[in-house]
Structure 1
């Protein structure tokens, strides 16, 4: 037989219970506040990359094809075009070897109605002339001449390009040479990657036979990992500077003329898609800035050293 013992239950201490609940609530509140502050700090410090990733989720990626570019540069183009400020000081010479981004004539069939680097709204706003002004501001007393040569034929005819056509450019003996090439190279075709590398190295070395110019090559404005790797090899092989342009449209689509919201030109007159994927005024300004960073650090540093 089991005998149940009567137990006396002690009353609940409500005062202690309230204190314990209050302490637990305060600890929980402080912990949550610390967590929120920590998340906020991380979010603020990473805000630019978070915004960029968020924008990229909804942004339609621009894919560049050779078909879009075939309409460009199909017009008789002079070996070079030249611009000088005709000042009385010592001559300083700039040479840009590029493609349609550097210089394109009027071609009404495609809806391109003015001479400039495509797709700047005026010649004064293309990267070549913006860069010229930056250099001129650093050398206000110098007689500065700039030659621009469209080498799209080199990009499209690597095996058969006639290097005699560059004699006038080599004999110009520039102080700065910018090689803005690669956009029109059909890299997906067999043997073209190796051929591009070899011909590009040979082209650059041709200019090393006279003088000691500051030489810069750029990666294509139209992003291409394979082309970037080739141009890296070319820069290392020839011991010249390399300036990356391919990151510009990847970080901000307004570097493309077609995506520039406040573009001052008339996009409705364009008859081919290829124009819009070129840099507009924003893209041109950013290209000039990227190039000038290297020129400013390398060329004008040595100029200052000479005066000291």
Structure 2
């Protein structure tokens, strides 16, 4: 996923009531949902790789990427009332986590004041080469997740990598646990060819083809939703 474009966001502004997922309120009833990731979450048009859309690469339609499938699930759980939601690409943090200004990375996203956050990163993070790099990555992930939790005001759900990597996924899980989030394990997904877009249609760029297709996007959404639905 070296070809991620400039981070863009999508916002559906709806009138909502309440101050978030209050104690005793199911996570499925969140009013303001923030979904952050990389190109699997959102990627704008990039003609040189044959990608001409503005949603999660490489779903066949906006409503079929995992982020919009999650919004549909929230809407159904809320008896047809769509939550206010924001979808963003923070691939720049993945690549430059060592020097990233977390407050600056998240500034526009946290203006939503989310009561539930889905974080889906990892694929673009350089694999740590030694214990020192592992420690640096863990610290950066903890800083990011702590900020997303907004002093406990937001529930956090952290998705493991679609392209599994034992070390990076372990650090994502550890950072999630230490910041009070809930982890979504996708380690079983990597070997399932039917989840890749290349199994559904042809793409001119192998990198695009290696992203989740409609089946993969649906599987990701289902996995995340199962963890959200289990949290009361």
> Under a length normalisation based on structure 2, what TM-score does the superposition of the two structures give?
0.87
Judge conservation of contact 2:148–2:156 (CA < 8 Å) in 1. Answer: no
Q: In 2, distance between residues paired with 1:249 and 1:183?
A: 12
For 1:283, what is the secondary structure of its paired residue?
Answer: helix
Q: Could you say which residue in structure 2 is the equivalent of 1:184?
A: 124
SS of residue in 2 equivalent to 1:248: coil
Instruction: Say whether the 8 Å CA contact 2:163–2:189 is kept in structure 1.
Output: no
- 1:228 aligns with 169
CA contact (8 A) 1:186 1:192 kept: no
- CA change 1:205–1:283 in 2 (3 A) is same
Q: Aligned equivalents of 1:141 and 1:125: distance in 2?
A: 18
**CA distance in structure 1 between the aligned counterparts of 2:52 and 2:107, rounded to whole angstroms:** 30
The separation in 1 between residues aligned to 2:113 and 2:226, in whole angstroms, is 23
Please, which moves more after superposition, 147-156 or 89-98?
89-98
Q: Does the alignment pair 1:90 with 2:17?
A: yes
User: Alignment length, in residue pairs?
Assistant: 218
2:214: which partner in 1?
Answer: 281
For the residue of structure 2 that corresponds to 1:94, the secondary structure is strand
2:46 matched to 1:107?
A: yes
1:141 Cα deviation from its structure 2 partner: 5.1
Q: 2:6 aligns with which of 59, 64, 76?
A: 76
In the alignment, which of 26, 37, 57 is matched to residue 118 of structure 1?
A: 57
Residue 175 of structure 1 pairs with residue 115 of structure 2:
yes
Unaligned runs of at least 5 residues, structure 2: 19-30
1:296 has 2:223 as partner? no
Runs of 4+ more than 4 Å apart: 188-191
Of Structure 1 and Structure 2, which has the larger fraction of its residues in helix?
Answer: 1
Residue matched to 1:32: none
Kindly provide the CA deviation profile for residues 269-292 of structure 1, in whole angstroms up to 9, marking residues without a partner as x: x2x311111100000000000011
- 2:187 paired residue among 246, 250, 267: 246
Find the partner of 1:144 among 83, 108, 113: 83
TM superposition shift of 1:237: 1.3
Contact 1:102 1:128 in 2 (8 A): yes
- Mark the CA change 1:209 to 1:132 in structure 2 (over 3 Å): closer, same or farther: closer
The offset of 1:182, in angstroms, is 0.6
Offset from partner CA, 1:155-174 (integer Å, 9 cap, x none): 00012212223122223211
Cα distance between partner residues in 2 of 1:237 and 1:90: 31
- 2:150 aligned with 1:209: yes
Structure 1 unpaired stretches of 5+: 1-68, 303-308
Distance 2:178 2:142 in 1: 7
Whole-angstrom CA distance in 1 between matches of 2:194 and 2:150: 40
**Coordinate RMSD, CA, aligned:** 1.8
